[in-house]
Amino acid sequence: MTEEEFKQELLKINIIPTKEQLNLLDKYYHILIEWNNMMNLTAITEKKQVYLKHFYDSLTITKVINLNSHKKLLDFGTGAGFPGVVLKIFFPDLEIILIDALEKRVKFLNHVIEELNLKKIIAIHERVENISNQNFDIITTRAVANLPTLIKYIHKLLTPSTLFVPLKASVDQELKNANVLLKKYHLKLIKRETFYLPYENSLRNILIIKKTN
C-alpha cells in the first residue's frame, strides 16, 4: 500500500487525512525503522507493508466505533504503538494510555510521543492486569493473545459503559473458547465486523464486547 493508496483507503472508512497527519505518520515510520535496527519492534519494515498492516489496520477500528464520541482509550500490549499511536495522530482529542510489559518498548513509545509532539497520550511500563481504579471508554488491543486470555487480563477494568474492542484475525474458535468466561464475567458480544485488508486480503475481525450488568 503506497501512501496514495493509504489515503484512498482511508476515505472509504470516512477518514480524511490532513497533510499534518500524513507528515506525522511518515515521521513515525522513520523513527520505527531507526529503532527497529536496535531492538525488535516489528518484523514488518517495508514501507508499503507498514502502511497497510500497521497504520491502516490500526485505523480499521473506526469501522465499528466513532472515536470522536469517546474521551479515553486504553491500548494494552501496544508494542510499537499499534493501534494507539496511530489513533492519537488521527484523533488528537482522544486521551490515550499505552501499556506494555517491556520497558524498552515503552522507551521507544515515549520517544515517539516526544518527537511527534503528541498531547494527551502516555506510555506506561506495566502489565494490564495490574491496572486498577481507572475508567476507560474504550479498551483495545491488537495481536497480543487469544480472546479468553485477553478477557482474563482486563475483565476487572470493564464497566457497563466500557467498550472492549479487540482487533483480531481469525476469531471463530476463540469466541467458542471464550463462551464460559463471557458468561462468568457477564460480558456480551454486541458487534462483530469481519472484513479483509485491501490489496492482500488478510482476514480481520473487530469485536465489541460489553459488560451487561
Cα(192)–Cα(186) distance, rounded to whole angstroms?
A: 18
CB 67 within 8 A of CB 61: yes
Q: Model confidence over 13-38: pLDDT tens digits?
A: 999 999 999 999 999 999 999 999 99
What is the model's pLDDT at position 108?
97
For residue 124, list its beta bridge partners: 99
CATH code of residue 82: 3.40.50.150
How many distinct structural domains can be found in the chain? 1
CA of 15: how far to CAs of 43, 59, 181, in Å?
27, 9, 35
165: Cα within 13 Å, side-chain hemisphere: 26
Q: Model confidence over 83-116: pLDDT tens digits?
A: 999 999 999 999 999 999 999 999 999 999 999 9
Predicted confidence (pLDDT) at residue 137 exceeds the cutoff of 80: yes
Residue with cell 465499528: 64
Domain range spanning residue 184? Answer: 3-211
Predicted confidence (pLDDT) at residue 77 exceeds the cutoff of 90: yes
Predicted confidence (pLDDT) at residue 144 exceeds the cutoff of 90: no
Q: Global pTM?
A: 0.94
Cα(25)–Cα(15) distance, rounded to whole angstroms?
A: 14
Predicted confidence (pLDDT) at residue 57 exceeds the cutoff of 80: yes
What is the side-by-side strand order in the sheet with 95-100?
121-125, 95-100, 72-76, 138-142, 163-168, 203-211, 187-196
What is the model's pLDDT at position 50?
96
